[in-house]
Amino acid sequence: MRISTASLALAAALAAPLITMVSSPAAERDLSPEQSQALFQARKTWSKDNYQRRLELLQSQQRCIDAAASADALKTCRQAMKKARKSLKQDHRAYMNKVRNQ
């Protein structure tokens, strides 16, 4: 499958505004040293407290993959892992937003 130069240029043009939109809020935010330290401590606490949860998710996915006997079963494993990662990500965002809003 060949991708034309025009297609690549179009994809780059469409992605460029998205990339700048994503990075600009973080660049505009000027955090005090106290706020920066609080966010660091929150990230560190989250990482330590949720290590076991993340490990269990990986082990669960490994068991699912090992037990998969068909392409459909493997697809189900991927979907379950995606759902679990999304839930973990939402929990992380809620935790960090709580810290940011203090």
* The two structure tokens encoding residue 67: 């037990």
- Give pLDDT, residue 20: 43
Please count the other Cβ atoms lying within 10 Å of the Cβ belonging to residue 77.
19
Of all residues in the chain, the percent with pLDDT exceeding 70 is 73
Which tens digits make up the pLDDT trace of 40-67?
999 999 999 999 999 999 999 999 999 9
Contact in structure between 31 and 91 (CB atoms under 8 Å) = no
In angstroms, rounded to a whole number, what is the distance separating the alpha carbons of residues 37 and 2?
49
- Give pLDDT, residue 81: 96
- Give pLDDT, residue 8: 47
pLDDT surpasses 60 at 25: no
* The two structure tokens encoding residue 94: 């809620």
- Give pLDDT, residue 2: 54
Contact in structure between 50 and 19 (CB atoms under 8 Å) = no
pLDDT surpasses 70 at 102: yes
pLDDT surpasses 60 at 83: yes
In angstroms, rounded to a whole number, what is the distance separating the alpha carbons of residues 37 and 50?
20
In angstroms, rounded to a whole number, what is the distance separating the alpha carbons of residues 25 and 3?
33
In angstroms, rounded to a whole number, what is the distance separating the alpha carbons of residues 72 and 63?
15
- Give pLDDT, residue 90: 97
Domain boundaries, the chain: 29-100
